[in-house]
Amino acid sequence: MKLRLFLMLLCTSISTVFGQQYGVRYGEKKRYTSYGISVNAMNYVGELDPGPSFVAPSIRYTRPSIGLVLVRRVKPAISYRGTFTYGRIKGDDYVSANESGKNFGRKLRNLNFRNDIFELKGDVVFDFIGHNERYEKRHEYVPYGFIGVAIFYQTPYGQVPDGFNDAGKWINLRKLKTEGVSYSPIQAAIPFGLGFRYKLAKNWDLAFEVGWRFTFTDYLDDVSKQYGDPAQMSPLARLMAFKSSYVSAKDPSYGTAQTVYGPDGMTTFVLPDGTDLKTLNSYGGQYVDVEGSNGTKKVWKSDILRGDKNKDWYILTGFHLTYIPPIKTVCPKFRY
């Protein structure tokens, strides 16, 4: 018994010496690493699918997203986290807009896109309820918040209108420079959000999380401010940039729509008689009514706006399942 007591004291003393020598501070043994996967719904807020606000996006084009998660707990209520996520966002003027109010302009603008997002994110997770024990004794229910930095790769694609070769094919819009602007496929974002974590088992956690990405680009959808100069565009770029004239092919009730390429890229719509004569302001720009022999013309003054000045957002909502590998306490062994 005395020998066992002596060895226990010796073991404790040596562990203390090793801790002091190699900087293993109090609480170091309580730190742990977890890793896992995430399954999410991905949404977008921008010119082609503007929800009521960035906290309430349109869900029409919700798409799935998957990711890998690595978490390192460093303080009782603080963890560092890294994730790699893939997902897709989409938007379509003709489908998501209607004929009333500001949406009328988006209906006539008739642009669409899809964009595959590859995101690498690092953030700090703040638990609202901290714990100063080993991982086995962590709380069962923990609300938390997070904020960090993300880098993502993105390239918007648009769909070729009906009536052309390769109709329905998705074309790289970034390379076409549909607004006469070059932008990088690599962009940055500020991710932040809230979540709720549940201790599923001794070594497993399940969390539900909503995370917003404020990006520094207005080109997730390839639509920003002004139309580009059609004289400086290739035929394919003009086709993908000015799609208003193809609305009537989808819905004859819009009448005969014609596209006029002027110095400012103006688009003119020739609509049937009896069309509402109100001046409309929309995401698509300003419309002015002009009486003509063929009926009412709504002139899209595209030299004003093609989109808006706000940056685009994307949002991830879903579940994180993480596993904590068992942590063994190692003590020096002695032979006698």
Does residue 81 lie within any of the structural domains?
yes
DSSP H stretches of helix in the chain: 2-21, 93-96, 103-109, 173-176, 235-241, 247-250
Is pTM beyond 0.85? Reply is no
Does residue 103 lie within any of the structural domains?
yes
pLDDT at 57: 72
Does residue 70 lie within any of the structural domains?
yes
Q: Which domain holds residue 71?
A: 29-241+306-323
Does residue 280 lie within any of the structural domains?
no
Supply 295's token pair. 């009926």
Residue 44 contacts residue 315 (beta carbons within 8 Å): yes
Does residue 298 lie within any of the structural domains?
no
Going by the DSSP 8-state scheme, the letter that residue 284 receives in this structure is T
Does residue 3 lie within any of the structural domains?
no
- How many domains is the chain partitioned into structurally? 1
pLDDT at 249: 63
Does residue 159 lie within any of the structural domains?
yes
The DSSP line for 147-195 is EEEEEEE--EEEEPPTTSTTTT-EEEHHHHTTTS----SEEEEEEEEEE
Which residues are within 8 A (CB) of 8 and not within 5 positions of it... i.e. 6 or more apart?
Answer: none
Does residue 53 lie within any of the structural domains?
yes
Q: CA 247, 251, 255: angle at the middle one, nearest 5? A: 75
Residue 61 contacts residue 43 (beta carbons within 8 Å): yes
pLDDT in single tens digits along all 336 residues of the chain: 544 554 454 444 434 433 433 334 536 778 889 999 999 999 999 888 766 566 667 778 899 999 999 999 998 889 999 999 999 999 998 887 766 555 666 777 788 999 999 999 999 999 999 887 787 788 899 999 999 999 999 999 999 987 777 888 999 999 999 888 899 999 999 999 999 999 998 899 999 999 999 999 999 999 987 777 777 888 888 888 878 767 666 666 555 444 433 334 444 444 443 333 233 333 334 444 444 444 444 544 443 357 777 899 999 999 999 999 987 665 555 555
pLDDT at 171: 94
pLDDT at 51: 65
What CATH number does the domain containing 181 carry? 2.40.160.20
Q: Reduced to 3 states, what is the DSSP secondary structure of residue 335?
A: coil
